[in-house]
Structures are given as C-alpha cells and as structure tokens.
Amino acid sequence: MPHITTTRRLLLGGGAALALPALSAFAQAFPDRPIRLIIGFPPGGSNDVTARILQPRLQELLGQPIVIENRPGANATLAADYVQKSPPDGYTLYLASSSPLVIAPHTNRNINYNAGTDFAAVATVAATPSVLAVGPASRAHTVQEFIAEARRGPVNIASSGAGGLAHLAIEILRREISPNITHVPYRGGGPAATDTMAGNVQGVIVDLAAIYGLIKDGKLRALAVMSDRRSPLLPDVPTFTEVGVPGVVAVNWVAIVAPLRTPEPILQRLYTAFTDVAKAPETRERFAAVGLETMTMASPAATQAFLRSEWDKWGAVARSSGARADE
C-alpha cells in the first residue's frame, strides 16, 4: 500500500468531514426542481393510473411538480434501463410493477439488470393479487370445480403475455394443481379477458386491477385470488390456500426505485413522501376504485430487502418452469 504522509491524511480526513455537511445540506434542499416519474407503459395502464393517483398529493408534500413520463417498450424494461443509467440525484425515478423489475430479467436473456442490486429502492405503494377468473358460460362456479376439471383433462388459461407475472402464476398452477393446464399468452390483459368472456379459453389469470370492472359487471366470474389472504375488494372470493393449495401466491405490486448510489437522505425524503401519500385515506379510496390496495414497507432498506426476496422467488419459478419471454 503506498505511504500516505500525515499532512495528506489530515487533508483527506478534512475533505471527508467537509463532504458530510455538504451532503446534508444538499439533501435538505432536495427537491429544488421538478421530479420525473418514469412509467414503462402507455397512459391508461395500472402503473400509469397509480402514478396519477399519487401525483397531486406528492406535489404538495415535496413542493415541486411531479412530471409523469411514459416511456413504453419491451414490457417496461426500456424504462428500467433508462432510469438505471440516469444521474443518481433523486430527480429521475422509476415507478414499476413486479414483471419488469423482478421477473423479466429471469425470462428474457436480453435484459441485464438486477432489481435487487442495480437500483436504489425508495418505496412500495400498492399491490393487487393475481386472480383466476372464468367467463359467464363456464361450468366451473367454484375454484374447486375448476381444479377438478383441470385434473380430469386439458384446460387452457390465458395470460397478458409470455414471461410476465401471470405466465409464472400459471406455471405455479401447473406445478401445484395439474400439468393438464396450458398457458395461452395474449398481447395484453384486455385481449386475454375478451377471449375468456367469449369462451375461447377456459380461464384467465391477470392482476385484479386489470379485470376488476369486468368482475363487478358480471362479465367475468372470479374463482380465486392468488394471495395469502382474501382481497377486501373481493371478500367473497377465496384464496387458493383456503381450498388446500397454499403454494399458489402471485401478487403484483408497484414500487418506486432510483438509480444506484442515490444519497440515502434523498431516498429517505422520497420514501417518506411516497409512503405518506399511499397511506392517506383518499389514496386508499382511489386505489380501491381501480382494484388496488395500499402496500408500504418500513423503510427504503426494507423495500430493498423485499425486492431481493421477490427477485429470488420469481427467479426460482422461472428456472424450474423454463418460462421464457424471448422465444
């Protein structure tokens, strides 16, 4: 190791000491200009709707405009890559769900980021369970009847696309219930739901938020939610655990991440704002109207640990099932 003189040590130590107040002052001044919230999907989707529900109150708390910027493409992974390469100053954030953050990198070999290590976690704000639903003409009126049908013979289940959360949820069903289940990918939850209503497939698995209106209107019949407890939005619909299949859990969530090396005081400032807004009664009410529930963590560190656990969980499902999005 090169020799360092006493004078140089003093200079280096003084520089480090001076940097701490500078960082603190920088964080206290944050934000002093608009913050961009990047969405990887076009306007109108659940991520975009979530951002627009949060936006007004966030602007009040942070004292700066929150600019929602839609950058769709490649199942929202282009937006993730963009944010990853942005300056780590807290002014460019990514609002994303589980598929682009912790699933797509396991099912698409062209993606080279790790949500557990390549971003600085800010907060989670909302969640929505995956739901198994059938069309009005389906003979299955309970999840038990659907399971029995799948064990007797072939059953087709639609999803919003290959390699995402719904696809892996179907792979969990194949593992836990019956290999007779076949995944049928569509280009989005809308076409998948439409074909299910028409009886062209026997069922569909998508986020509750994507089909909540269709369920309320009686156009789809929800048989089970894929979470560890019943959804307050569908209190009469059981979980798979209740019918003896506890391994079937697939919950989508919405999280905010920043570029790696964003200063901790800035992450904490953002965490507090996003969490306070997500917990507000008016936010909960607006979330419920579109099939979402508030979901928050205890800190940015807890959010980071959650992302790592989700990364590990869905990576294991992708490897065991062989599910791919790039084939």
Strand, helix or coil at 219?
A: coil
Q: Which residues, 6+ apart, have CB-to-CB distance to 148 below 8 Å? A: none
Contact of 148 with 166, CB cutoff 8 Å:
no
**What b/e string do you get for 37-62 counting C-beta neighbours within 10 Å, with b at 16 or more?**
bbbbbeeebbbbbbbbbbeebbbeeb
Whole-number pLDDT of residue 204:
97
Q: What is the DSSP string of 82-140?
A: HHHTS-SSSSEEEEEEHIIIIIHHHH-TT----TTTSEEEEEEEEEEEEEEEE-TT-S-
Residue 308 CA to residue 296 CA, distance in Å, equals: 16
Residue 55 CA to residue 13 CA, distance in Å, equals: 42
Whole-number pLDDT of residue 114:
85
Q: Which residues, 6+ apart, have CB-to-CB distance to 306 below 8 Å? A: 121, 124, 297
pLDDT tens digits, 289-300? 999 999 999 999
pTM for this entry: 0.86
**What b/e string do you get for 237-271 counting C-beta neighbours within 10 Å, with b at 16 or more?**
bbbbbebebeebbbbbbbbbbbbeebbebbbebbb
Contact of 158 with 196, CB cutoff 8 Å:
yes
Task: Name the token pair of 284.
Answer: 């909960």
Residue 268 CA to residue 127 CA, distance in Å, equals: 21
Residue 242 CA to residue 228 CA, distance in Å, equals: 9
Residue 213 CA to residue 291 CA, distance in Å, equals: 8
Whole-number pLDDT of residue 6:
38
pLDDT tens digits, 175-202? 999 999 999 999 888 899 999 999 999 9
Distances (CA, A) of 197 to 93, 193, 223: 37, 6, 14
Whole-number pLDDT of residue 4:
38
Of the candidates 210, 213, 214, 235, the residue with the CA atom closest to the CA atom of residue 225: 235
Of the candidates 164, 155, 124, the residue with the CA atom closest to the CA atom of residue 279: 124
Q: Average model confidence (pLDDT) for the chain?
A: 90
Scan for tokens 């934000």, then name that residue: 31
Distances (CA, A) of 316 to 165, 214, 239, 312: 13, 32, 22, 6
Q: Which phi and psi (to 5°) does residue 320 adopt?
A: -70, -30
Whole-number pLDDT of residue 327:
54
Residue 299 CA to residue 295 CA, distance in Å, equals: 12
The low-confidence residues of the chain, meaning pLDDT below 50, are: 1-13, 16, 18-20, 22
Asked, as a colleague might, if the bond just before 259 is cis with ω within 30 of 0, I would say: no
Whole-number pLDDT of residue 25:
56
Q: Which residues, 6+ apart, have CB-to-CB distance to 281 below 8 Å? A: none
190: exposed, middle or buried (Cβ count in 10 Å: 0-12, 13-18, 19+): middle
